[in-house]
Amino acid sequence: MFYIPVAFTFSVLISAIYGNPIHKRVDQIIDLSTQPWENACGEAGGGDLCNSLSVSGFGFLLAAADPCAQQNASDSMIDLAKKLNHHREMIRLTQIFAQQPRNSNTGQAVPYCQIPPRNHELNGLYQCQFESVNFQNFEGNLKPGSPGTIPYGLTAPVNPPGSCYANPSGPIPDGVQLVTITQNPGVDNVSGSSTNGNDTLSATTSYAAAPTANPASNHSPGNPNDGDDGSATAFISSAKGASFTSWTSLRSTLVRGAHH
Ligand SMILES: *[C@@H]1O[C@H](CO)[C@@H](O)[C@H](O)[C@H]1NC(C)=O
Ligand SMILES: *[C@@H]1O[C@H](CO)[C@@H](O)[C@H](O)[C@H]1NC(C)=O
Ligand SMILES: *[C@@H]1O[C@H](CO)[C@@H](O)[C@H](O)[C@H]1NC(C)=O
């Protein structure tokens, strides 16, 4: 027998009444965000810290993470790079990770951190946003221009909405990793800051071409109907609910939990 699913009719009804409030969860395969950094870190001799900082870093891309958690994780990644002889590749990859869009469970734009980073290499950087989020309505129902919707250090909303220094032309396609579409963190364009100190890369550095492979080819982004809300809370509870023999098993468990 043919029937129209209840959820579908309900959405259409709500849509007819309120315009277009159907919120689409926007997410990504979070562990891909720090994988190149983790590889560079391993080559630089960072040992077990590479995986642990990588795991804690990508966990903060999940929805409901504190707006500054991604920046703080990036600071820890820069700290390690500095201990490893100011490893330029790790610094560059951290600068890109710091700008990776975060998940949104509500389909709304994700608020920006309102405190400065500890490391000058991250000065002025803020996350891009995924292209399908609602830029007129940030999480918490904040309108553009209200506190939290303008990155620390700026005085006006990001223009174009959803852009960042690594991708100044606009937001990032849903689910895509910034590090697969650019190798240039764009720090030369950060104005009025010392982001581009002499231990970071300069405008004249040539960058390897970004890989063209679809980053999600071997994965499928989370299914909004599969019961996993892709949130930081779910990530943390999946970590608490299991026992681990090593960071690697913790990582694979968390990654599975975050994917499914
Ligand atoms: C981030 O780090 C700052 C100190 O640099 C601290 O005050 C703040 O509570 C941290 N926030 C999170 C979410 O870790
Ligand atoms: C920085 O700005 C210049 C000039 O506006 C632009 O050509 C360049 O592409 C920007 N850098 C990045 C990484 O987009
Ligand atoms: C720049 O390079 C000089 C000499 O190599 C070094 O002493 C200084 O600390 C560097 N500055 C920054 C901001 O890293």
The pLDDT tens digits of the residues spanning 144-167 come to 999 999 999 999 999 999 999 999
Task: Please give the structure tokens belonging to residue 227.
Answer: 């019961």
Quick one: 2 exposed, middle or buried, by C-beta within 10 A (0-12, 13-18, 19+)? Answer: exposed
Residues with CB under 6 A from ligand 3: 197-199
C-alpha closest to that of 201 among 118, 260, 105, 121: 121
The residue to mutate among 121, 187, 198, having the most atoms of ligand 3 within 8 angstroms of its beta carbon, is 198
Tell me the pLDDT band of 195, cut-offs 50, 70 and 90: low
Atom of ligand 2 nearest to the CA of 185: 13
Using CA atoms, how far apart are residues 38 and 55, in angstroms rounded to an integer?
Answer: 9
Determine contact, residues 190/123, Cβ cutoff 8 Å.
Answer: yes
Report how far ligand 1's centroid is from the alpha carbon of 158 (Å).
Answer: 23
H/E run at residue 258: helix 247-259
Query: How many Å separate Cα 205 from the centre of its chain?
Result: 25
Cis peptide before 160 (omega within 30 of 0): yes
> Bigger pLDDT: 150 or 208?
150
Listed range (96-105, 106-115, 248-257) with the worst mean pLDDT? 248-257
Atom of ligand 1 nearest to the CA of 71: 1
